[in-house]
Homo-oligomer: A and B are copies of this chain.
Amino acid sequence: MSGHVGVAIVGASGYAARELIQILLKHPGVRITVATSRQDEAPRVDALHPSLTRRIDLACEPFDADQIAERASFAFLALPHTASLAVVPALRKRNVRVIDLSADYRLSDPQVYADWYGHQHTDLPGLKQAVYGLPELFRDQIPPAQLIANPGCYTSTSILALAPLIAEDLIERTGIIIDAKSGVSGAGRSPKLNFHFPECNESFSAYNVGWHRHTPEIDQVLTTMTSGRGEAVEVIFTPHLVPMDRGIFATIYARPKQAAVEHDLLELYRSFYARSPFIRIVSHLPATKDSALTNYCDITLRVVRGQIVILACLDNLIKGAAGVAVQNLNLMLGCPEETALL
- Identify the A interface with B (CB < 8 A): 15, 25-26, 50-51, 53-55, 174-175, 177, 179, 181, 183-185, 189-193, 195-207, 209-210, 234, 236, 238, 240, 242-247, 249, 251, 253, 255, 277, 280, 282, 284-294, 296, 298, 302-307, 309, 311, 313, 342
Contact = CB atoms under 8 A, between A and B. Distances in A.
Contact of A192 (B191, B243, B280): B191
Given A177-B177, A290-B50, A236 B305 contact: yes
A244 B309 contact: no
Contacts of A240: 181, 249, 251
Copies of this protein in the complex:
4
Contacts of A189: 193, 196, 198-199
Contacts of A244: 201-204, 243
A309 B201 contact: no
11 contacts: A51-B292, A53-B298, A54-B277, A179-B253, A181-B204, A191-B193, A196-B196, A197-B197, A197-B200, A205-B285, A293-B293
Nearest to A190: B196
Contact of A51 (B253, B291, B303, B309): B291
A201 B181 contact: no
